[in-house]
Amino acid sequence: MARKMLVDGEVAAVADAGQYDYDLFVIGAGSGGVRGSRLAASFGAKVAICELPFHPISSEWLGGHGGTCVIRGCVPKKILVYGASFRGEFEDSKNFGWEINGDINFNWKKLLENKTKEIVRLNGVYQKILTNAGVTLIEGAGSLVDAHTVEVSQPDGSKQRYTAKHILIATGSRAQRVNIPGKELAITSDEALSLEELPKRAVILGGGYIAVEFASIWRGMGAEVDLFYRRELPLRGFDDEMRAVVASNLEGRGIKLHPGTNLSELSKTADGIKVVTDKGEELIADVVLFATGRTPNSQRLNLQAAGVEVDQIGAIKKTVFGGQQVKPDYGDVPCAVFSIPPLSVVGLSEQQALEEANSDILVFTSSFNPMKNSISKRQEKTIMKLVVDAETDRVLGASMCGPDAPEIIQGFAVALKCGATKANFDSTVGIHPSAAEEFVTMRTVTRRVSPTSKPKTNL
Amino acid sequence: MAAHATLPFSCSSTLQTLTRTLSPRGAHGLRRGFLRLPSLAALPRLARPCRRHVSASAANGASAEGEYDYDLFTIGAGSGGVRASRFASTLHGARVAICEMPFATIASDKLGGLGGTCVLRGCVPKKLLVYGSKYSHEFEESRGFGWTYETDPKHDWNTLIANKNTELQRLVGIYRNILNNAGVTLIEGRGKIVDPRTVSVNGKLYTAKHILVGVGGRPSMPDIPGIEHVIDSDAALDLPSKPEKIAIVGGGYIALEFAGIFNGLKSEVHVFIRQKKVLRGFDEEVRDFVSEQMSLRGITFHTEQSPQAITKSNDGLLSLKTNKETFGGFSHVMFATGRRPNTKNLGLEEVGVEMDKNGAIVVDEYSRTSVDSIWAVGDVTNRVNLTPVALMEGGAFAKTVFGNEPTKPDYRSIPSAVFSQPPIGQVGLTEEQAIEEYGDVDVFVANFRPLKATLSGLPDRVLMKILVSATSNKVVGVHMCGDDAPEIIQGIAIAVKAGLTKQDFDATIGIHPTSAEEFVTMRSATRKIRKKSADQVESKDEVVSKQ
């Protein structure tokens, strides 16, 4: 098999074939590591990848092929969001004529079992993807010995070394806990996705997407949920108007919000975990979830042995992708928060647009009662927003909070990335009846904002 | 209400912006000459600017005070008529009147209602019934997610219909307010054209400089024995009770949507189509996929069957006789066999308005009929029978006639949806059309089990398809059949209309986990059709061999 590699921007035959065990050694078989291995192998590289044995809850010695996304992130989270969403759907169905006589019961153990079955299946699929691609699978914890040597360790102390021309580090990140008394009583998202029992009362600390998603999940499953965050609104970094809508929706669904509040202490009682806040309030919870951020999983890699720089939180700096022929493009990356209802955005928030703008920006917003709610009588508005450069007419950002927002925003992300203007949007005929068509029918400017009057946001 | 509302962008600047290329690679999906609007003088058929001074903008088609009762009289307050009337009045300062019949769920020669088909007997009630009927599938899905019911949920048809009708009443009121707030005079009754500048409603005559016909269409059925026992879509949306066993004759979107509705509400559903497959004109793969998915949900399709007669038996049940056999035991037989423009008895023939053999009013690109002062938009012209298109036509008409800016509706890359279960969303060409037009086409297909189905255990699948011109790499068609397809396709439609390439799609990061992200992650062509280059290769060989 002819092996070619990109060396200093030029494709070169591997002159030093035999000098290294592998062309590429990947540490970590998550989304990035698997994609990198698979594609490298498809170009003819000899690739090995090491990963820890599978377990839903990660640890020093446990992980699994597929990584965070497949095993303890995107996939199980989405499954739980689906499961939790049914409660709201049952409520909505009544005014559409459905009668549910008797109890509706939610069996958490059954969902957990089916969820686990699916992630086990996907874990197997990922292993097959790698072996089918000709990648060598090695089990164990990888760390660096030097710039071309990886050491794979086992819990029993045994180690094995491998050399490689290139090493790819893709060990992902891990949930972190805040350092307060009683922190060992709290769980992280790993455990939350695999709880033995569904909590009746849940306390969540955090204002990011993970905190918000779990708040929606547990509330949908019938728990009482108290959500604590340090800022005035959750989801810092997102468009302020959208943050406010998300918060209002969470409240509308029965989640109790505690803005500007931190937790100061946890202690165990006969009745559950006693939670004390920095405002002196106390509550009792069955489960306390710390969703207070994730840190890069770089501590045990021995990066300094190879001279790899890390920043203060442990993230690896200055990655260079083979000859710099293909740099990842971080512009206009769309994303979603799977709260119920979800939020999805692409491009700039209003605040970001004002910071970067040279000319005025036009803001178009549409807030409406989705058609389904006209019958279900659920009091929950959908909000959609476009941020437009007044001079170039370019759509700088699009955001939506409402049912199906993530599915809807994807297509708009394609348009936005390619520089679509408001005129492009407006000249596109709507699909009727849908929520998405609102994005192509916003004719009236809600407000025009000049960059000089930048609102300082510290929410 | 200001006579001339300030637009955020002037119309001409909007048009100029439209020609901007989208990316360095160039998006040439916009027609050449898009900006070359003919001057008013160059359009022989448009009225010359009015010489009499009447109001601020004499050239906008407004008439002298006293010469006509109105600048515009619109017959029919549906999507097209309301949009045109409202815009003519608020944006362009015209004096407008609109006539519409009193509200009823079932249309007739005397009954209709503000909002028209879309609001009262089409898009809106249909979507509400789709929502209502979808729950049965969701109850089934929920089991795999841990939900159980002491007793199976039951559906009460009358609650659904009553709540639907309450919503329709509310919407009629909203449309009344919309028109009142726009300064449009509402006249209740059936309008009939008396002469090119006169409309009669309930015996009273109204003159107008321009008349707009927006009377829409009505369900049409063949004249076969027993047709009096058959219901149409109007009636189906307002039945007194849920059908136990229903025969739906028709293979178009209306037939499929009602099949899904009644099946979701646990009726026994049989669909009879004349063709081999449903949804003629749709992408072949989509046609196969949707009927397979619908069959898996319990709907029975009877293909290549033409209806010949319906008979009612003593027990009240109906039988449907086709060219092949007779099927009995139906509580209801519904025909969804097409819609016809509602042009009878409007005075059109007498005044000289040309119509085609289907009764559709013939119009030019500006929606003008064969009579200078009479115009028509929406389903009555039978161009593209979709509400957003009627809105586009109504707006373009108002701008042309009263805004002093001739504007043609743009029919390129119109997205549309079928709210079957699962639903369909599409924009651009089918695979067959793409091959016909481009010859060399790369076809990307994804057919997969969505995440929800791996847990629900139900056989639901999703089909997603991108068609790319192999020469230019432009995405010329996108199709999807699966949950949320209509919502997903909307954003994609902007990209297709703007002529974006497959590379543009691929450069966009996916939103994870969704179904939609599949559209930006299809890396390998499922098949590559080479018709054009194959022909070129052949002819080249010919030349060589001749030497």
**CA pair distance B336, A90, nearest whole angstrom:** 31
- Average per-residue pLDDT for chain A: 92
List, as own/partner pairs, every contact residues B351-356 make where C-beta atoms lie below 8 angstroms and the sequence separation is at least 24, other chains included: B351/B193, B351/B194, B351/B195, B351/B196, B352/B196, B353/B193, B353/B213, B356/B382
Alpha helices in A94-188 (DSSP H): 108-132
DSSP state of B368: B
User: By the 8 A CB rule, do A434 and B425 touch?
Assistant: no
- Average per-residue pLDDT for chain B: 89
Residues A163 and A180 in one domain: no
Judge whether A454 lies within some domain: no
Domain extent at residue A277? 175-292
Contacts of A168 (CB under 8 A, 6+ apart): A24, A25, A26, A27, A32, A33, A36, A37
Residues A442 and A351 in one domain: yes
User: By the 8 A CB rule, do B441 and B274 touch?
Assistant: no
Q: Roughly how many angstroms between the first and final C-alpha of chain A, as a whole number?
A: 57
**CA pair distance A49, A127, nearest whole angstrom:** 11
CA-only gyration radius of chain A, Å: 25
Q: Which residue of A has its CA nearest to B384?
A: A429
Alpha helices in B368-416 (DSSP H): 387-402
List, as own/partner pairs, every contact residues A438-443 make where C-beta atoms lie below 8 angstroms and the sequence separation is at least 24, other chains included: A438/A366, A438/A368, A438/A384, A439/A384, A439/A386, A439/A398, A439/A400, A439/A408, A439/A412, A439/B490, A439/B491, A440/B490, A440/B493, A440/B494, A442/A364, A442/A365, A442/A366, A442/A384, A442/A386, A443/B8
Closest by CA to A333, choosing from A420, A387, A409, A392, is A409
**CA pair distance B397, B409, nearest whole angstrom:** 8
Residues in chain B within 8 Å Cβ distance of A86: 138, 141-142, 145, 147
Closest by CA to B427, choosing from B505, B503, B360, B361, is B505
Lowest mean pLDDT among B136-140, B162-166, B181-185, B531-535: B531-535
User: By the 8 A CB rule, do A358 and A392 touch?
Assistant: no
Residues A305 and A339 in one domain: no
Q: What is the pTM of this model?
A: 0.89
Residues A127 and A191 in one domain: no
Q: Is the pLDDT of residue B533 over 90?
A: no
**CA pair distance A27, A47, nearest whole angstrom:** 11
Mean pLDDT of B32-45: 42
Q: Which residue of A has its CA nearest to B12?
A: A423
Tell me if A407 and B148 make a contact (CB, 8 A cut-off).
no
Hey, of A209, A429, A445, which one would you mutate to test binding to chain B, going by the most B CBs within 10 A of its CB? A429
Judge whether A17 lies within some domain: no
Digit-coded pLDDT (tens) for B411-454: 999 999 999 999 999 999 999 999 999 999 999 999 999 999 99
Residue B40 has a pLDDT of 43
In this chain, the answer to whether the domains covering B227-337 and B415-529 adopt an identical fold is no
**Hey, is the C-beta of B147 within 8 angstroms of any chain A C-beta?**
yes
Residues A166 and A215 in one domain: no
Residue type, A237: G
Q: Is A445 left (phi over 0), alpha (psi -120 to 50) or beta?
A: beta
Residue with tokens 């925003």: A409
Residues A41 and A159 in one domain: yes
Judge whether A87 lies within some domain: yes
Confidence band, pLDDT 50/70/90 cuts, at residue B63:
low
Backbone angles phi, psi at A128, to 5 degrees: -65, -40
Residues A71 and A208 in one domain: no
Domain B227-337 has CATH 3.40.50.180: no
Lowest mean pLDDT among A200-214, A294-308, A317-331, B351-365: A317-331
Using a pLDDT cut of 70, give the percent of chain A over it. Answer: 91
Give how far Cα A299 sits from Cα of A295, A316, B246, B362, B526, Å. 10, 11, 67, 75, 43
Q: Where residue A405 sits, what CATH number does that domain have?
A: 3.30.390.30
Q: What is the dihedral of CA A255, A259, A263, A268, to 10 degrees?
A: -20
User: By the 8 A CB rule, do B299 and B259 touch?
Assistant: yes
Residues A247 and A205 in one domain: yes
Q: Is B213 helix (H, G, I), strand (E, B) or coil?
A: strand
Confidence band, pLDDT 50/70/90 cuts, at residue B49:
very low
Tokens for A369?
């009662």
**CA pair distance B133, B298, nearest whole angstrom:** 14
Mean pLDDT of B252-273: 98
Residues in chain B within 8 Å Cβ distance of A419: 22-23
Tell me if B159 and A95 make a contact (CB, 8 A cut-off).
yes
User: By the 8 A CB rule, do B485 and B415 touch?
Assistant: no
Closest by CA to A93, choosing from B169, B134, B148, is B134
Alpha helices in B91-156 (DSSP H): 116-121, 123-143
Q: What are the catalytic residues of A? A: 432
Residue B21 has a pLDDT of 35
In angstroms, the separation between the Cα of residue A369 and the nearest Cα of chain B is: 13
Q: Is the pLDDT of residue A237 over 90?
A: yes
Judge whether A439 lies within some domain: yes
Residues A28 and A132 in one domain: yes
Residue B44 has a pLDDT of 45
**CA pair distance B111, B395, nearest whole angstrom:** 26
**CATH among 3.30.390.30, 3.30.1330.40, 1.20.140.10, 3.40.50.2000 for B415-529:** 3.30.390.30
Tokens for A162?
């491998």
Closest by CA to A247, choosing from A380, A63, A53, is A380
Digit-coded pLDDT (tens) for B478-501: 999 999 999 999 999 999 999 999
Tell me if B494 and A424 make a contact (CB, 8 A cut-off).
yes
Tokens for A41?
């192998």
Tokens for B388?
């957003």
Residue A307 has a pLDDT of 83
A window 110-139, beta carbon within 8 A of B:
110-111, 114-115, 118, 121
Do strands A201-205 and A224-228 pair parallel, antiparallel, or not at all (unpaired)?
parallel
Does the annotation count B229 as an active-site position?
no
Residue A283 has a pLDDT of 97
Residue A328 has a pLDDT of 75
The full set of domain ranges for chain B reads 70-218+340-403, 227-337, 415-529
For chain A, what is the domain count?
3
Tokens for B49?
């600017």
Find the CB nearest A408 among B135, B455, B488: B488
Residues A156 and A271 in one domain: no
Hey, of A75, A98, A326, which one would you mutate to test binding to chain B, going by the most B CBs within 10 A of its CB? A98
Tell me if A107 and B147 make a contact (CB, 8 A cut-off).
yes
Residue A309 has a pLDDT of 80
Residue B25 has a pLDDT of 38
Mean pLDDT of B119-124: 97
For A287-375, where are the E strands, in sequence order?
A: 287-290, 294-296, 335-337, 343-347, 361-368
DSSP state of A17: T
Digit-coded pLDDT (tens) for A111-151: 999 999 999 999 999 999 999 999 999 999 999 999 999 99
Question: Would you say the C-alpha torsion B192, B195, B196, B197 has a positive or negative sign?
Answer: negative
B window 119-138, beta carbon within 8 A of A:
123-124, 127-128, 131-132, 135, 138
Please report the DSSP string for A41-57 in residue order: HHTT--EEEEEPPB-SS
- Host H or E run for residue B83: helix B79-90
Residue B245 has a pLDDT of 98
Q: Is B538 annotated as a binding residue?
A: no
**CA pair distance B422, B481, nearest whole angstrom:** 6
Do strands B440-448 and A149-153 pair parallel, antiparallel, or not at all (unpaired)?
unpaired
In angstroms, the separation between the Cα of residue A173 and the nearest Cα of chain B is: 18
Digit-coded pLDDT (tens) for B338-390: 999 999 999 999 999 999 999 999 999 999 999 999 999 999 999 999 999 99
- Host H or E run for residue A31: helix A31-42
**Hey, is the C-beta of B414 within 8 angstroms of any chain A C-beta?**
yes
Judge whether A238 lies within some domain: yes
**CA pair distance B511, A171, nearest whole angstrom:** 22
B window 197-236, beta carbon within 8 A of A:
none
Confidence band, pLDDT 50/70/90 cuts, at residue B62:
low
Q: Is B252 left (phi over 0), alpha (psi -120 to 50) or beta?
A: beta
Residue type, A425: F
User: By the 8 A CB rule, do A353 and A387 touch?
Assistant: yes
Residue with tokens 């916003």: A442
DSSP state of B499: T
Closest by CA to B256, choosing from B336, B321, B322, B327, is B336
* Bridge partners for A285 per DSSP: A273
Alpha helices in A62-150 (DSSP H): 67-72, 74-93, 108-132
User: By the 8 A CB rule, do A436 and B396 touch?
Assistant: no
Lowest mean pLDDT among A44-58, A166-180, A270-284, A316-330: A316-330
The answer to whether the complex's ipTM is over 0.90 is: yes
User: By the 8 A CB rule, do A171 and A315 touch?
Assistant: no
DSSP state of A315: P
Hey, of A95, A120, A418, A443, which one would you mutate to test binding to chain B, going by the most B CBs within 10 A of its CB? A418
Residue with tokens 């008797």: A102
Residues A318 and A339 in one domain: no
Residue A34 has a pLDDT of 96
Closest by CA to A136, choosing from A110, A170, A162, is A162
Confidence band, pLDDT 50/70/90 cuts, at residue A325:
low
Mean pLDDT of B150-174: 96
**CA pair distance B362, B457, nearest whole angstrom:** 52
Residues A102 and A197 in one domain: no
Q: Where residue A98 sits, what CATH number does that domain have?
A: 3.50.50.60
Lowest mean pLDDT among A314-328, B219-233, B472-486, B516-530: A314-328
Tell me if B146 and A109 make a contact (CB, 8 A cut-off).
yes
* The three-state (H, E, C) secondary structure of B216-269, written as one string: CEEECCCCCCCHHHCECHHHHCCCCCCCCEEEEECCCHHHHHHHHHHHHCCCEE
Q: Which residue of A has its CA nearest to B140?
A: A86
**CA pair distance A310, A296, nearest whole angstrom:** 10
**Hey, is the C-beta of B148 within 8 angstroms of any chain A C-beta?**
yes
Q: Is the pLDDT of residue A292 over 50?
A: yes
Lowest mean pLDDT among A62-66, A109-113, A302-306, B292-296: A302-306
Mean pLDDT of A301-321: 72
The class that CATH gives domain B70-218+340-403 is alpha beta
